[in-house]
Structure 1
Amino acid sequence: MPDESSAPTHPALRVVVVDDHSIFRSGLRAGLDPAIHVVGEASDVPSAVAVVAETRPDVVLLDVHLPGGTNTSASGGAEVVQRVAAEVPDTRFLALSVSDSAEDVVGVIRAGARGYLTKGASADEVSRAVHAVAGGDAVFSPRLAGFVLDAFGAAVGEIAAADDELDRLSAREQEVMRLIARGYAYKEVAATLFISAKTVESHVSSVLRKLQLSSRHELTAWATARRLL
């Protein structure tokens, strides 16, 4: 009889599955490695933000296109990453989507996801990717890695220039700048950062002055051009 104690094991990982199709969530839950424990599910942006904040999983398996988003400049999946990253910094995100477009891949990676698989991946591939992402690695379906390399390679010079401009802003002003540029209203920024709307307004005025911009529309264009969103 084989010695069970000698069998290879992985640390149990806590995972949240976010997808607006319940059948897909059920199938994914059933097919994952037994060492991966699904501790929550969600079907839209608000419920995803809530369940991730509540359960604080190791990894979130995240569809790119989700209903319920409020940020018009980002996909639903990217918005989830953006909204919970500051509150749950140790959680890592792995996008899992039918889409293989460069825009979707680069958008969710810019938001902070650590990898991107298409839904053609097998359950074993997804399980291996979850373990890899939890360990700090980046994982991509083979043809998608090129999108990321192209996008971030071209951005090196722009990022260096943007760093000089960002040095003019305080850490809090940078937080406010990114949220405003993503389309958040003053009240939403205030709630996210636990400050007053009046303070948000003051920070925005300071940001515009320091960057020599005249409106939040110009700020959005400025941040987008420098790949800061």
Structure 2
Amino acid sequence: MPNDDLTVVIVDDHSIFRSGLRADLDPAITVLGEAATVDDAIRIVAETRPRVALLDVHLPGGRGGGGAEVIREVARTGAETRFLALSVSDAADDVVRVIRAGARGYITKSASGREVSEAARRVADGDAVFSPRLAGFVLDAFGVVSGETAETTEELDRLSAREQEVMRLIARGFAYRDVAAELYISPKTVETHVSSVLRKLQLSSRHELTAWALERKLL
């Protein structure tokens, strides 16, 4: 399929960003729809089947997994859409999470419309694309991932993206109320996630969780 048949959807919870990106994209790119939440993104991508979804990493809705949750859920529908992550964040957890979920690229929102258009074309053609200023960081991040044992990767895959966030903060010694403030969720929700993490990892306390994370160099 030629590049001028490139179709995309734009997924971001800020309407001004969606409008600005739509206006700045190459006119040859057809925008099939927009979404602001995890649930709407899954539905719209599954319905329209764009070649590429331009996806924010942090999104409301769903089970709290953000852009990574969208990628995983869309894959279950059988859609062959490829994902290009767009984010203001260059944090290791954000990059690794969405690439693990299946994103083909990750660029920052400081990119121009021309740069996003070119990146979307490259992703549609099967390339992996990263912002130039993230290139060195991405190599470092995936060096860490490749150093994980298969057992550790399997254990982490049992946890949702939100559970992994909670796990790392709890393992670092954060109190429930501090985790809640950091992730904008309630302490009760934190408690629920911690119980789920301990159950899935077959651990009995937060102290065991800290030891588990330290042993696997996850902190």
TM-score (norm 2): 0.68
Q: Is the 8 A contact 1:17 1:25 kept in 2?
A: yes
For residues 160 and 216 of structure 1, the distance between their equivalents in structure 2, rounded to whole angstroms, comes to: 17
For residues 202 and 79 of structure 2, the distance between their equivalents in structure 1, rounded to whole angstroms, comes to: 30
For residues 96 and 217 of structure 1, the distance between their equivalents in structure 2, rounded to whole angstroms, comes to: 31
Q: Is the 8 A contact 1:20 1:43 kept in 2?
A: yes
Structure 1 residues 183 and 21: CA distance shift in structure 2, 3 A:
closer
SS state at 1:40 partner: strand
Identify the residue that residue 21 of structure 1 maps to in structure 2.
Answer: 14
**Structure 1 consecutive aligned stretches of length 4 or more whose deviation exceeds 4 Å:** 159-163
Alignment of 1:152 onto 2:136: no
SS state at 1:215 partner: helix
Q: Is the 8 A contact 1:105 1:147 kept in 2?
A: no
Structure 1 residues 162 and 66: CA distance shift in structure 2, 3 A:
closer
SS state at 1:104 partner: helix
Q: Is the 8 A contact 2:49 2:79 kept in 1?
A: no
Residue 26 of structure 1, CA deviation: 1.1
Identify the residue that residue 3 of structure 1 maps to in structure 2.
Answer: none
Write out per-residue CA displacement over residues 161-191 of structure 1, whole angstroms, 9 at most, x where no aligned residue: 669xx7xxxxxxx9xx95x53289xxxxxxx
Residue 218 of structure 1, CA deviation: 3.0
Q: Is the 8 A contact 2:95 2:138 kept in 1?
A: yes
Identify the residue that residue 138 of structure 1 maps to in structure 2.
Answer: 128
For residues 18 and 100 of structure 1, the distance between their equivalents in structure 2, rounded to whole angstroms, comes to: 18
Identify the residue that residue 188 of structure 1 maps to in structure 2.
Answer: none
Q: Is the 8 A contact 2:97 2:161 kept in 1?
A: no
Q: Is the 8 A contact 1:45 1:66 kept in 2?
A: yes
Alignment of 1:91 onto 2:91: no
Write out per-residue CA displacement over residues 67-95 of structure 1, whole angstroms, 9 at most, x where no aligned residue: 11314xx4x11111121123235211001
Letter in 2 for 1:118: T
For residues 154 and 101 of structure 1, the distance between their equivalents in structure 2, rounded to whole angstroms, comes to: 14
Write out per-residue CA displacement over residues 97-155 of structure 1, whole angstroms, 9 at most, x where no aligned residue: 11222221222112111111111101100000000000011111112122321222233
Alignment of 1:43 onto 2:36: yes
Q: Is the 8 A contact 1:62 1:77 kept in 2?
A: yes
Q: Is the 8 A contact 2:52 2:120 kept in 1?
A: yes
For residues 110 and 103 of structure 1, the distance between their equivalents in structure 2, rounded to whole angstroms, comes to: 10
Residue 157 of structure 1, CA deviation: 4.4
Q: Please report the RMSD computed on the Cα atoms of aligned residues, expressed in angstroms.
A: 3.0
Residue 96 of structure 1, CA deviation: 0.9
Identify the residue that residue 90 of structure 2 maps to in structure 1.
Answer: 100
Give 1:216's match in structure 2, choosing from 169, 192, 200: 200
Identify the residue that residue 209 of structure 1 maps to in structure 2.
Answer: none
Q: Is the 8 A contact 2:46 2:79 kept in 1?
A: no
Query: Which structure has the larger Rg?
Result: 1
Structure 1 residues 162 and 104: CA distance shift in structure 2, 3 A:
closer
Q: Which blocks of at least 5 consecutive residues in structure 1 are unaligned?
A: 1-8, 167-173, 185-213
Structure 1 residues 58 and 145: CA distance shift in structure 2, 3 A:
same
Residue 14 of structure 1, CA deviation: 1.1
